[in-house]
């Protein structure tokens, strides 16, 4: 935490990078476009993993591991898939000192190799559904990269399921979208719009893609998780077939769904302020930090005694950091933990020990207003209540911010204005030509066609033809 | 579970592969030497991960993530390191449609890229020690591969630490060896010998390597975890320096340590029998399975009612599977769960419901002797006691097996005989020439120089010169 963070109003993009690096979430790697996820960032990812993995397992999914390296010929088996991914592939051509007969692709996603294995594992309807997830890293050679948001390698989970019917596959696709929504809103305090991607924005090889879309602090959109109904496209390409109850050979219906370390970018940009990160208590590596205050050894021993009593009081229920480092001023520590977004700070000095109190400071309410002296008695309940309140407030604040920057333009001129300032909900005829015009005129794209539609019909904001559905348009990361 | 498992006495190697595949732990991947870790095998790995990760964090380590792809020039910076790993590298030469100026290596291990980052993060003694672990996959292009034991890609954890002094680095190296030992013996019920590797067997680039060595069911040795004191070799190669308290620039002392999915091979081979896997309760994905027995709907509803009561009784404390699948016979289910090594089977039929009892069958004691009827009352305590007893028995049995196949030969002829039947403890002068002669004569290698020495001195089993230490020799995986 050497330098000052660039204020958001001055340069949002620079603010973001400053926060990521100075809070020690991540660092640039010596390979173009790659990053190192530092321990503090990884601890946040571990909490995200636990929150998702719990939900996956509760809905019957199990984890497995499929190979990193995929034969190049596999990628070519699904026509749209290869078209979408070929330009981004990293390719191993030499291994064990020899040039390979067939090059191997470092997985950009695993539909193909998993399809190949499913074809061998699935025999009858009794083997279905197959509900598997994997936690891994993937490589996509992106030209323009940004820490967490777009990197040549990223960590994620990719779920891959196979079903007997189209309906089951569609239900699974939607279930996982709902799980992402629940995680985003309830654990990360990030409000999202659940919706269908347009044909031009869908996953390469999918029948239908869904996403959750969140608004960042600069009013731009970020796709924070996706769930794809792959139809029978991959089942046909990889020959995933099963014998049904009447002994007839049928193709399976498959899905895939993923959420990545990109989500950390969303947490930073939805909640952060000019002092740095603000982490939602449910995911914060440390939910509270205690900063002891003393001037000499006698005070130190008094204060540290009280700190130990508080640590015991709070117990396992609170992820607590005690910052007892020597050689740093109290003010420096306050700044450090503000920068790192710890939701709650407890300060305790000799006077507080004498009076049986501590000072509690909320990260989400800066200055005097967010700071209060409270008795040590009953502290655990108070801390837990405050953490719950911070979690709720962060979500409400993000909902209010999004509402303040969501527009319902009536004319194309209003629309052009709207997408410069946030999300535009607008009727859309569904034609790619209209999407393209919007992109050329405004750099905004269709983020999704929300599942929660206002009802009724209207006229396309671009071409004026009749439209059944509204889409959300925005500039996106 | 279609085919029969080859008996160990007929073909141990085939028995191993049969168990891995039929118990659905892993499968061959369509890429040479790679494997797919199936959900049951991955669940075992998740339990291994949890058991280790808990120990790492309790000793102050944190997790992070470093890039998969490493510039080729990095690998060359430490002379012994490149010599050891160059022949096994998988190399990315094309990315994003273009030939790369500098090829990238798919990490075979991460000392080099982590060394590069540590050089940037470490400034002063106050930044030390740096105690970081990562969970990931690595690629080493092996010629002869076997599921779990030796695969072109494998999952592992690799810890990398940097310290201010040599002594601290050595203490860390030994601490992690002790953590592996504790995990192996107490959680996996796999007895191990802790020891130092010989100069010829140590890690490429290490000052000193330690390992834990276990005896498999065919009396061969398996190196089950390693911990390396890297001296200042990597610190000098990557310029990891710090300012000490007197403001003098010093090189750091680094360590690395790893345990991989290979350990699953050890669990299979230490405990398994001709019926299949036997899993230690502390790591088993399912600790107990309930097989309900009924002939008709009325019996079914009675029995399933009792099953639900038992499930509630056992609660969260036991990882329980209820096998209520239709269309499989009871005998088929018994075989299936024996093959999969579930430590405890609970059988319950209408007569048992009437009598308020269940039949409990231990996987580690086949046949009648391991099966008893017990009252449903107090079942949870009984199950927990039995699981603890199975855990203990598996360890004791493995210790006894190792003892029965451990020899203390006095002559080279006895020695040659000994390494055909197990572990040979023998005095060794430390000369590589003697190691090489043993290898040529017997295919056995020095597994380690055990930390727990008998004391005294002797004469080298090969050359007869004076020797200070005993080594353990064995044929190894």
pLDDT digits (tens, 9 = 90+) for B101-117: 999 999 999 999 999 99
- Report the C-alpha gap between A389 and B69 in whole angstroms: 43
Residue B113 contacts A where some CB pair is shorter than 8 Å = yes
CA A139 to chain centre: 17
Query: CB–CB of B31 and A70 under 8 A?
Result: yes
Angle, helix B412-421 to helix B432-442, in steps of 10 degrees: 60
Residue B106 contacts A where some CB pair is shorter than 8 Å = yes
- Residues 6+ positions from B256 with CB-CB distance below 8 Å: B109, B111, B158, B159, B160, B161, B203, B206, B227, B228, B230
pLDDT digits (tens, 9 = 90+) for B449-475: 999 999 999 999 999 999 999 999 999
Reference A409, options A369, A441, A378, A362; nearest CA is A441
Contact residues, B window 11-30, toward A, CB-based 8 Å cutoff: 27, 29-30
pLDDT at B2 over 70: no
What is the nearest CA distance from A117 to chain B, expressed in angstroms? 8
- A251 within 8 A of A241, measured Cβ to Cβ: yes
| B chain contacts of residue A92, beta-carbon cutoff 8 Å | 90-93, 106
What is the nearest CA distance from A396 to chain B, expressed in angstroms? 32
| A chain contacts of residue B88, beta-carbon cutoff 8 Å | 96
Angle, helix B262-271 to helix B12-22, in steps of 10 degrees: 110
B133: nearest CA in chain A? A39
**Nearest-CB residue to A90 (from B35, B39, B95):** B95
Query: CB–CB of B65 and A91 under 8 A?
Result: no
| B chain contacts of residue A48, beta-carbon cutoff 8 Å | none
- Report the C-alpha gap between A10 and A66 in whole angstroms: 45
What is the nearest CA distance from A267 to chain B, expressed in angstroms? 19
pLDDT digits (tens, 9 = 90+) for B245-264: 999 999 999 999 999 999 99
What is the nearest CA distance from B396 to chain A, expressed in angstroms? 32
Residue A38 contacts B where some CB pair is shorter than 8 Å = yes
Count CA within 13 A, CB hemisphere, residue A245: 3
Residue A147 contacts B where some CB pair is shorter than 8 Å = no
What is the nearest CA distance from A11 to chain B, expressed in angstroms? 26
pLDDT at B354 over 90: yes
| A chain contacts of residue B141, beta-carbon cutoff 8 Å | 95-97
- Report the C-alpha gap between A211 and A232 in whole angstroms: 20
- Helix, strand or coil, per DSSP, at residue B184: helix
Q: How many helices (H) and strands (E) does chain B have?
A: 14, 25
pLDDT along chain A (477 residues), means of 10: 83 98 97 96 98 98 98 90 90 96 96 97 96 98 92 97 98 98 98 97 94 98 98 97 97 98 98 98 98 96 96 94 94 97 98 96 94 96 97 98 98 98 98 97 98 96 97 98
**Nearest-CB residue to A63 (from B39, B116, B117):** B39
**Nearest-CB residue to A43 (from B35, B62, B89):** B62
| DSSP letter string, B196-251 | EPPGGGS-TT-SEEEEEEEE-TTS-EEEEEEEEE-TTHHHHHHT-EEE-TTS-EEE
Residue B144 contacts A where some CB pair is shorter than 8 Å = no
- Helix, strand or coil, per DSSP, at residue B128: coil
| A chain contacts of residue B327, beta-carbon cutoff 8 Å | 126
pLDDT digits (tens, 9 = 90+) for B40-92: 999 999 999 999 999 999 999 999 999 999 999 999 998 888 888 989 999 99
pLDDT given for residue B115 in this prediction: 97
- Report the C-alpha gap between B212 and A6 in whole angstroms: 51
pLDDT given for residue B1 in this prediction: 47
Count CA within 13 A, CB hemisphere, residue A109: 23
Residue B141 contacts A where some CB pair is shorter than 8 Å = yes
* Planar angle of CA A46, A51, A54, nearest 5 degrees: 115
What is the nearest CA distance from B234 to chain A, expressed in angstroms? 17
Report all structural domains of chain B as residue ranges with CATH numbers, in order of start: 12-271 (3.30.930.10), 288-386 (3.40.50.800), 406-474 (3.30.110.30)
Query: CB–CB of A69 and B34 under 8 A?
Result: yes
Write b or e for each residue in A450-459: b if 16 or more Cβ atoms lie within 10 A of its Cβ, otherwise e.
beeeeeeebe
**% of residues, chain B, pLDDT over 70:** 99
What is the nearest CA distance from B334 to chain A, expressed in angstroms? 19
pLDDT given for residue A1 in this prediction: 47
- B34 within 8 A of A67, measured Cβ to Cβ: yes
Supply φ then ψ for residue B275, to 5 degrees. -85, -15
pLDDT digits (tens, 9 = 90+) for B367-390: 899 999 999 999 999 999 999 999
B62: left (phi over 0), alpha (psi -120 to 50) or beta: beta
**B interface test, pick of A58, A63, A84, A96 with most B CB neighbours within 10 Å:** A96
- A435 within 8 A of A460, measured Cβ to Cβ: no
- Report the C-alpha gap between B245 and B231 in whole angstroms: 21
Contact residues, B window 151-170, toward A, CB-based 8 Å cutoff: 152-153, 155
pLDDT given for residue A327 in this prediction: 87
| DSSP letter string, B350-413 | HHHHHHTEEEEEETTS-SGGGEEEEESTTHHHHHHHHHHHHHHHHHHHHHHHHHHTEE--SSHH
| A chain contacts of residue B49, beta-carbon cutoff 8 Å | none
Number of CB atoms found within 10 A of residue A399's CB: 15
Rounded to the nearest 10 degrees, how much is the dihedral formed by the CA atoms of B226, B229, B233, B237?
A: 60
Q: Label each residue of chain A as H, E or C.
A: CCCCCCCCCCCHHHHHHHHHHHCCCEEECCCCCCEEECHHHHHHHHHHHHHHHHHHHHCCCEECECCCEEEHHHHCCCHHHHHHHHHHCEEEEEECCEEEEEEEEECCCCHHHHHHHHHHHCCEHHHCCEEEEEEEEEECCCCCCECCCECCEEEEEEEEEEECCHHHHHHHHHHHHHHHHHHHHHHCCCCCEEEECCHHHCCCCCCEEEEEEEECCCCCEEEEEEEEECCCHHHHHHCCEEECCCCCEEECEEEEEEEECHHHHHHHHHHCECCECCCCCCCCCCCEEEEECCCCHHHHHHHHHHHHHHHHHHHHHCCEEECCCCCCCHHHHHHHHHHCCCCEEEEECHHHHHHCEEEEEECCCCCHHHEEEEECCCHHHHHHHHHHHHHHHHHHHHHHHHHHCEECCCCHHHHHHHHHHCEEEEEECCCHHHHHHHHHHHCCEEEEEECCCCCCCEECCCCCCEECEEEEEECEC
Beta pairing partners, A467: A458
Query: CB–CB of B137 and A90 under 8 A?
Result: no
Contact residues, A window 323-342, toward B, CB-based 8 Å cutoff: 327
Residue B63 contacts A where some CB pair is shorter than 8 Å = yes
**Nearest-CB residue to A38 (from B45, B64, B104):** B64
**B interface test, pick of A38, A67, A319 with most B CB neighbours within 10 Å:** A67
Contact residues, A window 84-103, toward B, CB-based 8 Å cutoff: 86-97, 103
Query: CB–CB of A86 and B97 under 8 A?
Result: yes
Query: CB–CB of A35 and B89 under 8 A?
Result: no
pLDDT given for residue A210 in this prediction: 98
Q: What is the mean pLDDT of residues B304-326?
A: 95
Residue B437 contacts A where some CB pair is shorter than 8 Å = no
Write b or e for each residue in B179-213: b if 16 or more Cβ atoms lie within 10 A of its Cβ, otherwise e.
bbbebbbebbbbbbbbbbbbeebbbbbbbbbbbbb
- Residues 6+ positions from B135 with CB-CB distance below 8 Å: B49, B53, B63, B155, B156, B157
pLDDT given for residue B140 in this prediction: 96
């Amino acid at each position: 935490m050497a330098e000052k963070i660039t204020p958001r109003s001055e340069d949002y993009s620079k603010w973001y990078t400053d926060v990521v690096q100075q809070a020690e979430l991540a660092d640039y790697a010596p390979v173009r476009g790659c990053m190192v996820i530092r321990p503090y960032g990884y601890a946040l990812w571990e909490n995200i993993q636990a929150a998702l993995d719990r939900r996956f397992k509760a809905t019957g999914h199990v984890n497995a591991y499929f190979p990193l390296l995929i034969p190049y010929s596999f990628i070519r088996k699904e026509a749209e898939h290869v078209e979408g991914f070929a330009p981004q592939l990293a390719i191993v051509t030499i291994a064990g000192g020899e040039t390979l007969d067939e090059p191997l692709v470092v997985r950009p996603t695993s539909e193909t190799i998993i399809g190949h294995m499913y074809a061998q594992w699935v025999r009858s309807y009794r083997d279905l559904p197959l509900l598997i997830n994997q936690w891994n890293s993937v490589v996509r050679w992106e030209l323009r990269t940004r820490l967490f948001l777009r990197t040549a390698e990223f960590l994620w989970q990719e779920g891959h399921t196979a079903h007997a019917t189209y309906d089951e596959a569609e239900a699974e696709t939607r279930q996982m979208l709902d799980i992402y929504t629940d995680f985003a809103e309830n654990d990360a305090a990030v409000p999202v719009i659940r919706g269908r991607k347009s044909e031009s924005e869908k996953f390469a090889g999918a029948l239908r893609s869904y996403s959750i879309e969140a608004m960042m602090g600069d009013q731009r959109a970020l796709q924070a998780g996706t769930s794809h109904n792959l139809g029978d496209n991959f089942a046909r390409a990889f020959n995933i077939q099963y014998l049904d109850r009447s002994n007839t050979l049928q193709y399976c219906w498959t899905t895939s769904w993923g959420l990545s370390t990109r989500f950390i970018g969303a947490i930073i940009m939805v909640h952060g302020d000019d002092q740095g990160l603000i982490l939602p208590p449910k995911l914060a590596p440390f939910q509270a930090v205690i900063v002891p205050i003393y001037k000499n050894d006698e005070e130190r021993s008094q204060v540290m005694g009280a700190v130990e009593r508080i640590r015991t009081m709070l117990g396992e229920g609170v992820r607590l950091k005690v910052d007892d480092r020597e050689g740093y001023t109290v003010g420096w520590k306050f700044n450090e933990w503000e920068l790192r977004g710890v939701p709650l700070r407890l300060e305790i000095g000799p006077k507080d020990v004498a009076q049986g109190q501590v000072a509690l400071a909320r990260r989400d309410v800066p200055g005097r207003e967010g700071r209060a002296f409270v008795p040590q008695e009953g502290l655990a309940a108070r801390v837990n209540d405050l953490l719950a309140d911070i979690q709720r407030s962060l979500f409400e604040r993000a909902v209010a911010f999004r509402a303040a920057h969501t527009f319902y333009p009536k004319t194309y001129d209003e629309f052009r204005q709207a997408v410069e300032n946030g999300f535009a909900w607008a009727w859309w005829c569904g034609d790619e030509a209209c999407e393209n015009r919007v992109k050329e005129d405004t750099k905004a794209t269709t983020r999704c066609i929300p599942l929660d539609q206002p009802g009724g019909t209207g006229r396309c904001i671009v071409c004026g033809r009749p439209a059944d559905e509204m889409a959300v348009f925005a500039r996106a990361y």
